[in-house]
Amino acid sequence: MEILIAEDDLQIALSLKKNFEEEKNHSIIAEDGQKALELASQIRFDLVILDWRMPRLTGLEVCRHLREKGHKVPIILLTALSDIANKVDALNSGADDYVTKPFSFEELSARVKAVMRRYEKSSDVIECAHFDLVLSDHLLKNGSKSIKLSDKEFELLRYFITNRGFILSKDQIAENVWKIKFNLSTNIVEATIKNLRKKLEEISNRNLIRTVYGEGYVYTPD
């Protein structure tokens, strides 16, 4: 992992660098805000750690500039200040998290992991028990097979997955997937569920969508 450490206190910066290196991560130190902004604009980092108080540009300013330019890199702010207004500012500036000084490397590391987990989780693939769902490709995948879902099948499955374990009525499904106030004169939900079930069966050899008579359907991944 490539980390940018923006911190003017060289003692802290070097200590962080050493600790990150023990975790097999590579880091680059920027000694002021301006340098940090330049580096982050030129090099692709996996994580940016910004000290709040720095010469030339504060961490908050660097963070805002990066977000304005559309950079999505995970950012953690280090702040020596403990008052609430600043914490609120930090989170509203587009930073993903902040750590209050003084902190142990252990605490920073836990926050880094949490932030990275969030970024990874919100990735393009939802890993389900019996298959992976590739969001941007609308593709069901397992080790050997790969099945393309139609638009409606995909949206239906996504709705089921985000509400796994809950009974979803046909009205609810129609409203959320088809975005129509449900009009009982159609059985489009049943028809699409039939097609989705067929593809889910093909990939998982299971019936993952259970019918609850009179109430609706439940998606149960187990």
Residue ranges binding DNA (CB under 7 A): 148, 150-153, 170, 178, 185-188, 190-195, 197, 211-216
Exposure pattern of 167-177 as b/e (b: 16+ CB <10 Å)? ebebebbbebb
CB of 187 to DNA, least distance (A): 5
Exposure pattern of 46-69 as b/e (b: 16+ CB <10 Å)? ebbbbbbbbeebbbbbbbbbbeee
Does position 68 interact with a second copy (CB under 8 A)? The reply is: no
Question: How far is C-alpha 158 from the geometric centre of its chain's CA atoms?
Answer: 16
How many amino acids of this chain bind a second copy (CB under 8 A)?
Answer: 42
User: In angstroms, rounded to a whole number, what is the distance separating the alpha carbons of residues 166 and 212?
Assistant: 11
Tokens of 102: 């003084």
Q: Which does 215 bind (CB under 5 to 8 A by kind): DNA, a second copy, none?
A: DNA
Residue of 1, 80, 123, 207 interacting with a second copy (CB under 8 A): 123
* Nearest residue (CB) to a second copy, 10 versus 135: 135
Phi, psi of 78 (to 5 degrees): -105, 125
* Nearest residue (CB) to a second copy, 70 versus 214: 70
CB of 102 to a second copy, least distance (A): 11
Q: Which of residues 78-107 bind a second copy (CB under 8 A)?
A: 84, 87-88, 91-92, 96-97, 103-104, 106-107
Q: Which does 187 bind (CB under 5 to 8 A by kind): DNA, a second copy, none?
A: DNA
Does position 221 interact with a second copy (CB under 8 A)? The reply is: yes
